[in-house]
Amino acid sequence: MERRSDSPAHRGEYNVPLLTKIFVFDAMNHEVITLSPDDTVASAYLTMLDKGFRGIPIVESEKTVGIVTMSDLLRIPREQMASTPLKSIMTQNLLVVYPDESLLSVLEKMTNHGVSRLPVVSKDTGRLAGIITRTDVVRA
């Protein structure tokens, strides 16, 4: 071979997956609609229908404390939606990502945990910085 990069045995040394070069900050949605743990399932349901969302982060005192998905909401009987607070159904053990993580890392987390959206939080403050979805990764 003329060059080492032309050799099939060494090609991997010169091939860097594209998703390692794009970062969460570049692909995430910076403007996020959030709800409070005390908001009701009914209000979350209406918000998701209106905005076309499948999940919304739950924030309290500027910290992300949970997330709810449309699947979570639909488990509640319709007659109880107006009286059920989100804190009783939200996922609290959050999987989060940071703005400086690669999209490869995000995709691995989503795949390994079976989720399609992740809150993006600041490493320094823990505050919600945005949200990233599988669609955002594909679009990027």
> Per residue in 1-32, pLDDT tens?
676 656 777 655 555 578 889 999 999 999 99
CA proximity to 33, closest of 65, 7, 58: 58
pLDDT category, 126, cuts 50, 70, 90?
confident
Which tokens sit at 45? 């349901």
pLDDT for 2 equals: 72
pLDDT for 16 equals: 57
Cα 4 from Cα 116, distance rounded (Å):
40
Which tokens sit at 5? 């990069």
pLDDT for 19 equals: 85
pTM of the model: 0.82
Residue 60's CB is within 10 A of a number of other CB atoms, namely: 14
* DSSP string of 105-118, one letter each residue: HHHHHHHHHT-SEE
Task: Evaluate if residue 131 carries a pLDDT over 90.
Answer: yes
> Per residue in 100-122, pLDDT tens?
999 999 999 999 999 999 999 99
> Per residue in 54-97, pLDDT tens?
999 999 988 899 999 999 999 999 999 999 999 999 999 999 99
pLDDT for 11 equals: 59
Among 3-12, 14-23, 42-51, 127-136, which is the least confidently predicted range?
3-12
The count of C-alpha atoms lying within 13 angstroms of the C-alpha of 124, restricted to the half-sphere facing its C-beta, is: 3
CATH code at 17-139: 3.10.580.10
The residue to which tokens 């209406």 are assigned: 46
